[in-house]
């Protein structure tokens, strides 16, 4: 497994990320295709990507950090086969070397289904373990999914 960094994505990379997104996030947050995903990315500014690829070059993890609403934000995806092995923490540590602040949204329960019919596991414990403040008082609702804010700031 290798990490790489880029400020642009190829169409092939975008399609792999869409597949990863649709497999790992709740089905209500799925992207319908490249046009939908490009619209999502277009709404973000100052985008930077970290990719985790296997030996064949297939994307197994994706981290994006970007500016939105005057905040440094992020989103992260990791193939289920790699979860619990430290790869997510490595992603966060790489991002923390590049920025002094990370703001994101997480689902606060395990009751939402993924595309494969399995429950989406809330990553709140993971973010808490990695030094993020969990702000249950700041919530966001999209497609009947309730998210709460997670924040990390360097000290």
Predicted TM-score of the model (pTM): 0.90
69 by Cβ neighbours in 10 Å (0-12 / 13-18 / 19+) ranks as: exposed
Write down the pLDDT at residue 143: 72
- 131 by DSSP, 3-state: which? coil
CA pair distance 130, 40, nearest whole angstrom? 27
Write down the pLDDT at residue 142: 76
Q: What is the mean pLDDT of residues 128-140?
A: 92
Give residue-wise pLDDT tens across range 8-24.
999 999 999 999 999 99
Q: Which two tokens stand for residue 109?
A: 């329960």
């Amino acid at each position: 497994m290798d990490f790489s960094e880029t400020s642009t994505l190829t169409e092939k990379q975008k399609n792999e990320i869409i597949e990863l997104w649709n497999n790992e996030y709740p089905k209500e947050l799925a992207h319908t295709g490249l046009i939908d995903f490009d619209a999502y990315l277009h709404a973000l500014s100052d985008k930077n990507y970290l990719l985790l690829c296997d030996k064949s070059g297939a994307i197994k993890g994706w981290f994006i950090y970007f500016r939105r609403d005057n905040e440094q934000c992020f989103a992260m995806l990791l193939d289920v086969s790699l979860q619990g092995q430290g790869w997510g923490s490595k992603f966060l540590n790489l991002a923390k070397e590049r920025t002094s602040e990370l703001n994101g949204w997480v689902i606060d329960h395990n009751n939402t289904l993924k595309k494969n019919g399995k429950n989406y596991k809330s990553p709140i414990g993971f973010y808490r373990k990695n030094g993020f403040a969990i702000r249950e008082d700041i919530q966001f609702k999209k497609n009947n999914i309730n998210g709460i804010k997670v924040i990390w700031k360097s000290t």
